[in-house]
């Protein structure tokens, strides 16, 4: 962490200012980021509002990156890590996902499977809510997506079909 902080602190001032922050974001592939967005992101991280990122603020930022699952702080800040949803199941399991990921996957499924008559009643999947999880719960959508990627990867004669599948039949589809 110290090496990373010193790497971003180009002038060795002990802080990361707006210009250094923008250079760090550019170095991570965010080349189209505007000065206004850099200022917005800097303000998000700059807890004491002094216009620079100090060591403690940098550590807080890295903790945000770790919690968001992103590989760089630029990605964590620009994708809105706060938009992540967390679901706790009845059995106590925790699931984290980004709403952007759900939206992209739902749109891809809608586009790829729109002509499949076996899943037509499940489409379109609303990309703005959790319909994706319900639509994929018995494996049929996933099976069709795999067959779109690699034609006839799954023999449809072996797939359990119908709206009243028991848990064992659903598990076979998912497996």
98-155 pLDDT, tens digit each: 777 888 888 888 888 888 887 888 888 888 887 888 888 888 888 888 888 888 888 8
The predicted model scores a pTM of 0.46
Query: Which domain covers residue 157, as residue numbers?
Result: 97-174
Quick one: 165 and 130 in the same domain?
yes
For residue 8, how many other CB atoms are within 10 A of its CB? Answer: 19
Six-digit token string for 117: 């008559």
92 is a domain residue:
no
77-105 pLDDT, tens digit each: 544 444 455 554 556 666 677 777 888 88
Last residue of a domain, which of 79, 110, 141? 79
- Which among 166, 164, 158, 121 is positioned nearest to 141, based on CA atoms? 121
For residue 173, how many other CB atoms are within 10 A of its CB? Answer: 18
87 is a domain residue:
no
Q: What is the CATH number of the domain that holds 139?
A: 1.10.418.10
11 is a domain residue:
yes
């Amino acid at each position: 962490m110290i090496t990373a902080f010193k790497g971003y602190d180009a002038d060795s001032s002990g802080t990361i200012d707006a210009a250094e922050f923008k250079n760090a974001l550019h170095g991570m592939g965010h080349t189209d980021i505007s000065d206004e967005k850099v200022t917005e992101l800097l303000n998000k991280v700059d807890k004491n509002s002094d216009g620079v990122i100090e060591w403690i603020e940098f550590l807080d930022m890295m903790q945000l990156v770790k919690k968001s699952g992103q590989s760089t702080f630029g990605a964590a800040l620009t994708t809105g890590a706060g938009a992540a949803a967390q679901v706790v199941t009845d059995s106590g399991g925790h699931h984290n996902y980004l709403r952007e990921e759900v939206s992209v996957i739902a749109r891809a499924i809608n586009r790829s499977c729109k002509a499949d008559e076996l899943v037509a009643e499940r489409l379109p999947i609303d990309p703005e809510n959790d319909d994706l999880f319900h639509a994929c719960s018995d494996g049929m959508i996933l099976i069709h997506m795999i067959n779109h990627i690699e034609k006839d990867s799954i023999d449809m004669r072996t797939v359990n079909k119908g709206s009243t599948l028991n848990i064992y039949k659903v598990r076979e589809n998912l497996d």
